[in-house]
Chain A
């Protein structure tokens, strides 16, 4: 809470450095910091990867993270995670690191600014149609807006817009409430309670990063899925038919 006063609701208002009209606020500064940290960190870890039995602990950590993300994506979308893991994983890691770093004194999470979260939500807003068109074609993707009837078109478009807004405001509200509650508690009961709320804030940060990634995946999956679901349905129906035929035959065999 070094930079932010009680009056400031977002770290955008905290100007770190100003040169003429170019203004560097704390949000941009810490975002750059996280980008550097993530890029350098992953470069440092992946510099000497080994396929042997003995691996370094950092490689182990990254393997666990990537494997977990791939597994989650596979479970949610029921597709091969290859194409999605870059986008979803980047979002997840960025939000996670930026939330977790709030244990560092003087640091303000860039996700507690509406500009950052709106930018992330806009990325999702663009990525959903891109993945949808990539997997179903332009007409196939546009067709889902007029399903089940043409009259649903405005509601589908409104849903698309409002869920982007909801994504942005949800992350912003959660992170901003964390920092704000700590600031208020520091003024009221500065001895012990801020620590507890800080720990709770860390938990909320992890959950919010997870939820942002999962929701993005759900949106992308709903834009790409339909075709595969139809195939799966057909397969299931075939299986069911086979089973019923099998049962009928068994019954015929049992009855004398």
Chain B
């Protein structure tokens, strides 16, 4: 197999695996966080504002790990340095 198809295949598979695996952990974590947040709002409705604000900030923190995985997979798909190198070498 020549290097173009090898790098293309590796990039596509890795991008899929990256976003797939990277979404599992944050999804579980966010689910737990939201469930706990709703439970505490149900327990103490007076503190809804504080709980919601903290929940949002925490969710953003958790979500950022998924965003990292997404950014990496986007880089692999659309701005892949290895792919560009191979293509320029094959072209020139």
Task: Give chain A's interface residues, CB within 8 Å of chain B.
Answer: 6-9, 72, 75-76, 166, 169-170, 172-174, 176-177, 180, 207-208, 210-211, 214-215, 218
Instruction: Give the total number of A-B pairs whose CB atoms are below 8 A apart.
Output: 47
**Nearest CB on B from A50, distance (A):** 31
* Interface residue? B4 (CB, 8 A): no
Partner of A170, one of B67, B78, B79: B67
30 residue pairs of the A-B complex, CB under 8 angstroms, read A6-B78, A8-B78, A9-B74, A9-B75, A9-B78, A9-B79, A75-B49, A75-B50, A75-B53, A166-B64, A169-B67, A169-B68, A169-B71, A170-B64, A170-B67, A172-B71, A173-B64, A173-B67, A173-B68, A174-B67, A176-B74, A177-B67, A177-B74, A180-B74, A207-B56, A207-B60, A210-B56, A211-B56, A211-B60, A215-B60
Residues in chain A near residue B56, CB distance under 8 A: 207, 210-211, 214
Q: How far is the CB of B71 from chain A (nearest CB, A)?
A: 5
Chain B contact-residue range equals 10 to 19
Q: Which residues of B contact A166 (CB under 8 A)?
A: 64
Most buried by B among A7, A173, A210: A173
Nearest to B78 among chain A residues (CB) is A9
B21 in the interface (beta carbon within 8 A): no
Chain A interface mostly helix, strand, loop or mixed?
helix
The complex places the Cα of A210 from the Cα of B75 at a distance, in Å, of 27
B59 to chain A: closest CB distance in Å? Answer: 9
Smallest beta-carbon distance B75→chain A, Å = 7
Q: Which residue of B lies closest to A166 (CB)?
A: B64
Shortest 10 CB-CB distances between A and B: which pairs? A173-B67, A211-B60, A170-B64, A9-B78, A173-B71, A9-B79, A214-B57, A166-B64, A177-B70, A170-B67
CA distance A211 to B67 in the complex (A): 15
**Closest CB in chain B relative to A124 CB, distance in Å:** 15
Q: Which among A8, A170, A208, A210 has the highest number of chain B CB atoms within 10 Å?
A: A170
Specify the chain B residue showing the minimal Cβ separation from A5: B78
